[in-house]
Amino acid sequence: MARVTAGVGCSHVPAIGAAMDTGITHEPYWKPLFEGFKKSREWMKEQKPDVIFLVYNDHCTAFDASCIPTFALGCAAEFKPADEGWGPRPVPVVKNHQKLASHIAQSLILDEFDLTIMNEMEVDHGLTVPLSVMYGDVGPDEDWPALVIPLCVNVVQYPPPTGNRCYNLGKAVRRAINSFEEDLNVMIFGTGGMSHQLQYKRAGLINKEWDTKFLDLMTEDPVGASQISHLEYLRETGSEGIEMVMWLIMRGALDEDVTEVYRHYHVPASNTAVGHIILENKT
Ligand code: DHB
Ligand code: FE
């Protein structure tokens, strides 16, 4: 059977991808950020996931105001890196496990989570940057070491889903994966965050204390984390901190009692606090 072995929470700041793509990760501004992912890359090499179920948000790349799905599941055979204004990132095309993705679509919808099914989609930094930080440099002519099933969540246009809805969706994702007959090591990523606001008077807002509390809750009290309100995210973490509801999908797909394997927190990267956590299932 397929099983969910571990979850990864990870910011997806586009400048991190640009730093890797332009070869400046050793520069003083970036070095401490990338040092903090060394252990994660070693851990990925040991774990060798077959499939990554990657929860992220599209930043008006594949979607615009004409169509705003709350949850969109990638069911295409592959997903090309999108051109976000500077040409597509020089990273591999993302390959899907289409049979598992279709199984998850069926299982979730019959489990009463109504998803949009994407049979064609380009993916932006929200998806490619977490793969880059966790795997290191992988060239456009290579393959990512794992197949990837994208789940795209609307956190751009009001109203985004609640943390509680996301947490319960994570549980349904776990049920879907556990009922797939192929023997697969599946990892789940929740991306975005941590505290950041990219515009207007509070631009540059960083709330380390709140971010640390959120990382603690990820390990110790996921149910408590699932009850954080939209208003609290906006007040404490800035307008884009709402991206953290996506971590709750990851967290819902894990056991309530997990092992925290690693954590990294760094400020700044662009206007953003970068947060990262690795959680392993005990079962
Ligand atoms: C930035 C953009 C993002 O989508 C994000 O999650 C964090 C930072 C940025 O432009 O700095
Ligand atoms: Fe983002």
Mean of pLDDT values over 202-217: 98
Q: What is the mean pLDDT of residues 201-215?
A: 97
Q: Does the C-beta of 226 come closer than 6 Å to ligand 1? A: no
User: If you average pLDDT over every residue of the chain, what do you get?
Assistant: 98
pLDDT greater than 90 at residue 283: no
Residue 199 CB-density burial (10 A; 0-12 exposed, 13-18 middle, 19+ buried): exposed
Contact 206 CB / ligand 1 (< 6 Å): no
Whole-model pTM: value is: 0.98
Q: Where are the domains of the chain?
A: 3-281
> Does 14 sit in the ligand 1 pocket, CB within 6 Å?
yes
Average pLDDT estimate for 118-126: 98
Give backbone dihedrals phi and psi of 279, rounded to 5 degrees, phi first: -125, 130
Q: Calculate mean pLDDT across residues 266-274.
A: 96
Distance CA 234, CA 229 (A): 9
For the domain 3-281, what is the CATH code? 3.40.830.10
196: annotated active-site residue: yes
CB 259 within 8 A of CB 279: yes
Ligand 1 centroid–CA 194 distance in Å is: 10
Looking at the DSSP bridge assignments, the partners of residue 88 are: 83
Bond from prior residue into 194 cis (ω within 30 degrees of 0): yes
Q: What is the pLDDT of residue 215?
A: 98
